[in-house]
């Protein structure tokens, strides 16, 4: 049985106070907190077992190498990839997208080709594609977002052309919360001969994902948004494509044999992992996956769904509050604006009450423009949040509205 109070015990930070008030942490879309066991596992490796991976023949090096590869197997299982060859460790979602933009771009994108992104992407899933288009003389196209925060799926068939090489789409929007119909995007793209990169940065911590069922070509996510450490992430890539793609960075570990005349590259996934990886971070990610799996993604999803329903219901009663994104297919990311209140002012006042939320552009400036605002307030919920915390946000927002509207 899912017991949120039991889960909260695993996260020491949730007992902290901020400005003398109990911390209400609702900025999980930016980064989640870590359970003690993730930090303890990492500190155990730092303090007792540390040695570089894949290099030594000595005891500690082998120990760390094995732990690193066990984490890869856990990540493979977590996303149901067919093989560990398809699981590449990166520095995060951004690192994974840049790797694909460079390497896939080198192999497959030519002048006059097209890359299709959507109007709700995070800057990380826009700028690397713009840079690729600039390098190659390709064109960036944009799949529009409808007023309810869903993708304009009717426009998709017109936007996909014989020149489209890749479609980049968020699984879950970091602003609107929309869970996109990525399977439909993937099928349409494949039918048009294009590959698909799915940005799962806001998805893997909320929903079960299955690479074989999804049939995407690339999928990226960050450990720090799923109860793991910062600086680590995963790129899933389809084996046949990865084999055809050149390495992104050169260095140790990604080579088989180095000669001044010619160097040969390592097998997958190591071909894409130049240099010493953050192996202790990777071990921490493995621990976070074990933790999530022990709770069960279905249980996480059910709790967060109930919490989100409660939050939307309560917040909708606040006068002048306008949600951005109203798709029924949405996760626990809730963005809104308050008439007559600047989001940054609201965030500053909520902070004084111990409530951490995000305010600003949420790294999605084009989407802000589409919604006709310069900034929003975002509450992003995680499995350890409670109904009482939602009520605290509601009460806090009422105080914010009363104070800030009075002043005008
Ligand atoms: N994509 C989405 C949808 C995100 O929400 C984020 C983080 N806010 C990223 C990509 C980038 O993740 P990171 O900074 O961990 O690389």
C-alpha 12 to ligand 1 mean position (Å): 25
Tell me the CB-side half-sphere exposure of residue 208, using CA atoms within 13 A.
12
| Residue 87 clears pLDDT 80, i.e. is over it | yes
Residue 280 CA to ligand 1 centre (angstroms): 21
The string of DSSP letters for 112-180 reads T-EEEEETT--GGGTHHHHHHHHHHT-EEEEE-B-TTS-B-HHHHHHH--TTEEEEEEESB-TTT-BB-
pLDDT at 407: 57
Q: For the chain, what is the mean pLDDT?
A: 97
pTM of the model: 0.98
% of the chain surpassing 90 pLDDT: 98
- Cα–Cα distance between 320 and 404 in angstroms, integer? 12
d(CA 314, CA 87): 41
Q: Is 52 exposed, middle or buried, given 0-12, 13-18 or 19+ CB atoms closer than 10 A?
A: middle
User: Residue 29 pLDDT more than 80?
Assistant: yes
Ligand 1 shell residues, CB under 6 Å:
29, 92-94, 122, 124-125, 170, 174, 199, 201-202, 222, 363
Q: What is the CATH number of domain 39-293?
A: 3.40.640.10
Nearest ligand 1 atom to the CA of 363 is: 8
In angstroms, what is the span from residue 75 Cα to ligand 1's centroid? 18
pLDDT tens digits along 340-359: 999 999 999 999 999 999 99
| N- to C-terminal Cα separation, the chain | 49
Indicate whether 258 pLDDT > 90: yes
What does CATH list as the number for 4-27+296-407?
Answer: 3.90.1150.10
Question: Best substitution site from 202, 230, 233 to test ligand 1's pocket, by max atoms within 8 Å of Cβ?
Answer: 202
Query: How far, in Å, is the centroid of ligand 1 from the Cα of 94?
Result: 6
Number of helical (H) and strand (E) elements in the chain, helices listed first: 14, 17
Digit-coded pLDDT (tens) for 163-211: 999 999 999 999 999 999 999 999 999 999 999 999 999 999 999 999 9
Nearest atom within ligand 1 for CA of residue 170: 3
Provide mean pLDDT across the span 374-392.
Answer: 98
* CA–CA distance, 390 with 314 (Å, rounded to integer): 8
pLDDT tens readout for residues 290-315: 999 999 999 999 999 999 999 999 99
Handedness of CA 105, 223, 189, 217 (dihedral sign): positive
The per-residue pLDDT for range 116-135, each reduced to its tens digit, is 999 999 999 999 999 999 99
Give the pLDDT of residue 406. Answer: 59
| Domain range annotation of the chain | 4-27+296-407, 39-293
DSSP-derived pairing of the beta strands 164-170 and 17-18? unpaired
pLDDT digits (tens, 9 = 90+) for 325-343: 999 999 999 999 999 999 9
Helix (H) or strand (E) holding 348: helix 343-352
Q: Is 318 helix (H, G, I), strand (E, B) or coil?
A: coil
Report which secondary-structure segment, H or E, holds 191. Answer: helix 182-191
Percent of the chain with pLDDT over 70: 99
Atom of ligand 1 nearest to the CA of 96: 16
Which of 123, 127, 180, 222 has the most ligand 1 atoms within 8 A of CB, as the residue to mutate? 222
Contact present, 332 and 382 (Cβ < 8 Å): yes
Catalytic residue numbers read 363
């Amino acid at each position: 049985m899912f017991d949120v109070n039991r889960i909260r015990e695993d996260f020491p930070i949730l007992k902290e106070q901020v400005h003398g008030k109990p911390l209400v942490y609702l900025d999980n879309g930016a980064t989640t907190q870590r359970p003690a066991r993730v930090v303890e596992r990492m500190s155990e490796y730092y303090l007792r077992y540390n040695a570089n991976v894949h290099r030594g023949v000595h005891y500690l090096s082998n120990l760390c190498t094995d732990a690193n590869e066990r984490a890869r197997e856990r990540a493979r299982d977590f996303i149901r990839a067919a093989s560990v060859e398809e699981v590449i460790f990166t520095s995060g979602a951004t690192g994974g997208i840049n790797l694909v933009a460079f390497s896939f771009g080198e192999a497959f994108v030519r002048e006059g080709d097209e890359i299709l992104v959507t109007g709700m992407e995070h800057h990380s899933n826009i700028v690397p594609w713009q840079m690729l288009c600039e390098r190659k003389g390709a064109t960036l196209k944009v799949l529009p977002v409808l007023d309810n925060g869903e993708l304009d799926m009717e426009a998709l068939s017109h936007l996909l052309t014989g020149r489209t090489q890749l479609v980049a789409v968020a699984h879950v929007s970091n602003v609107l919360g929309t869970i996109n119909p990525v399977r439909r995007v993937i099928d349409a793209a494949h039918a048009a001969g294009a590959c698909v990169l799915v940005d799962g940065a806001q998805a893997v911590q909320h929903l079960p994902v299955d690479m074989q069922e999804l049939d995407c070509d690339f999928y990226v996510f960050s450990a720090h948004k799923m109860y793991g450490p910062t600086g680590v992430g995963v790129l899933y890539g389809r084996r046949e494509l990865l084999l055809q793609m050149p390495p992104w960075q050169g260095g140790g570990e990604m080579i088989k044999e180095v000669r001044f005349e010619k160097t040969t590259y390592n097998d997958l996934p190591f071909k894409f992992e130049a240099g010493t990886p953050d192996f202790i971070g990777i071990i921490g990610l493995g621990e976070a996956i074990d933790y999530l799996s022990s709770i069960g993604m279905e249980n996480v999803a059910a709790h967060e769904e109930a919490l989100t329903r409660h939050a939307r219901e309560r917040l909708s009663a606040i006068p002048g509050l306008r949600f951005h994104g109203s798709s029924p297919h949405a996760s626990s990311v809730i963005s809104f604006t308050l008439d007559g209140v600047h989001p940054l002012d609201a965030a500053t006042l909520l902070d004084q009450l111990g409530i951490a939320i995000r305010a600003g552009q949420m790294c999605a400036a084009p989407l802000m423009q589409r919604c006709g605002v310069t900034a929003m307030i975002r509450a992003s919920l995680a499995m350890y949040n409670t109904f009482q915390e939602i009520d605290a946000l509601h009460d806090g927002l009422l105080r914010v509205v009363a104070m800030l509207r009075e002043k005008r």
